A = this chain, B = another copy of it.
Amino acid sequence: NHSVPIAARVTVSKDESRDFMAVFPDVVRDLTNATKAYNCNDAAKWFAKALQYNVPRGKKNRGILTVLTYKNLVQPQDLTPENIKLAQYLGWCVEMLQSFFIMSDDVMDNSTTRRGQTCWHKVENVGLTAINDALMIENAIYLLLKQHFSHLECYVPLLELFHEISFITTCGQSLDLLNSYKSVADFTMENYKAIVDNKTAYYTFYLPFAIAMHLAGYTDPEAFRQTKSIVLEMGHFFQVQDDFLDCFGNPEITGKVGTDIQDNKCSWLAVVAMQRANAEQKQIMIDCYGKSDPAKVDRVKELYKELSLPSTYATFEEESYNMIKTHIQQTSRGVPHITFLQILNKIYQRDA
Contact = CB atoms under 8 A, between A and B. Distances in A.
A139 interface: yes
A172 interface: yes
Contacts of A177: 129, 132
Interface stretch (A6-14, A59-67, A69-77, A162-170): A162-170
A188 B146 CA distance: 33
Interface residues of A, number: 51
Contact of A128 (B34, B107, B135, B197): B107
A39 B194 contact: yes
A132 B156 contact: no
Number of copies: 2
B139 A167 contact: yes
A42 interface: yes
A124 interface: no
Interface in A142-190: 142-143, 146, 155-156, 159-160, 163-164, 166-168, 170-175, 177-179, 181, 190
A173 B130 CA distance: 12
A178 B143 contact: no
A48 to B, nearest CB: 12
A198 B163 contact: no
13 contacts: A34-B167, A35-B171, A38-B198, A39-B197, A43-B171, A104-B132, A108-B129, A108-B131, A125-B181, A132-B170, A136-B167, A142-B159, A159-B159
